[in-house]
Structure 1
């Protein structure tokens, strides 16, 4: 009896696995679920980034302001939210709108393609508002639409649109509407764009002698700048100016 009891006691003293051994044992029995749990945070992050890129591509895109050309409305470092649906359903840019557009072929010459990998990474960063926009992307205010005659300047130094002098309250303090005289008719399907900080803005005036005459095709407009999303202290809307309310429709001879 004593011998049998001793045998049972020895069997009962089988070594108890450590916590690490137990975990490895469970991992061996259930390798798939544990690996899936390890991948889940990475998949979650990738899914969130993909969703943000999708929203940025079709609905609202963050845009980092890189220069002083739109002061005082927009400051360097502001991250504005560009409404990509503003002109998707038959609506078109209006005088006074602040818009983001691709200036390739109007403000910038066509350039040979860059490294596709580097380009894709920069595009993703810019689409999320983490990097400066592409050198071909600009933000300006619409001053003339298709058919408009825009002239600088009247006797008081104001810009005229279709014969109506325009008071521009959004201009940077101390800036004249333009030091460069011009008298242009905007072709249909294009826009005449100016920055609010006229003395610091490279805009349609700088391309009067270039192919296209500084006109930006409506098809190149990315969207309308509707909100300032960052920094927190500057949260708010980017309101369209009513400075052009009294401007008449262009005469038929201007079309």
Structure 2
């Protein structure tokens, strides 16, 4: 099942970069797009011309950023009628980060708890249209149906969708950046089948609470859910 990311997520990852470090920021923004699953393995990025407009940089900068990521195995360039720039499938496995300092883990994971709990509460407090309610449930179903290779993308897009439902644009940007950092760590060790099952059960509790407008239950569900992946991250990385 494929559900396109909501507009706010695309706005966040395709916003203009800083002038002083245009190349580095363009590379970082493309990596974020890949890590968040906005463009999945085997899927194409927007055309170079479009990316240049979105990032407010030259086409040469975009071309150089793509070349850098192609050289490291994240992107594949194809010529011809159906050519373009595609996310590699499979993606290269990130290098083992070794032991991550406890202060860094505490900072990133602590911020994640604050952002995701706030997003869940805010989303549960909104009046959601039938179309948005259906999209949120479809996002949950997409995670349930995803295989091991596609699970992290489906999981990430579900959480980013909840952030969008909060209708606080700055929150989406902060959560996307935080989630990309967490995903970079999660990608260094394998998914555990039982953990996926447990995660999907927790997702259902979270989504059900949001749809029912139960802010306290939504916050409790997301914090319980985050505690599981936090335990794995600390076990593998600390």
TM-score range, shorter chain: under 0.3
Decide which structure has greater strand share: 1
Normalized per residue, the structure richer in helix is 2
TM-score, length basis structure 1: 0.23
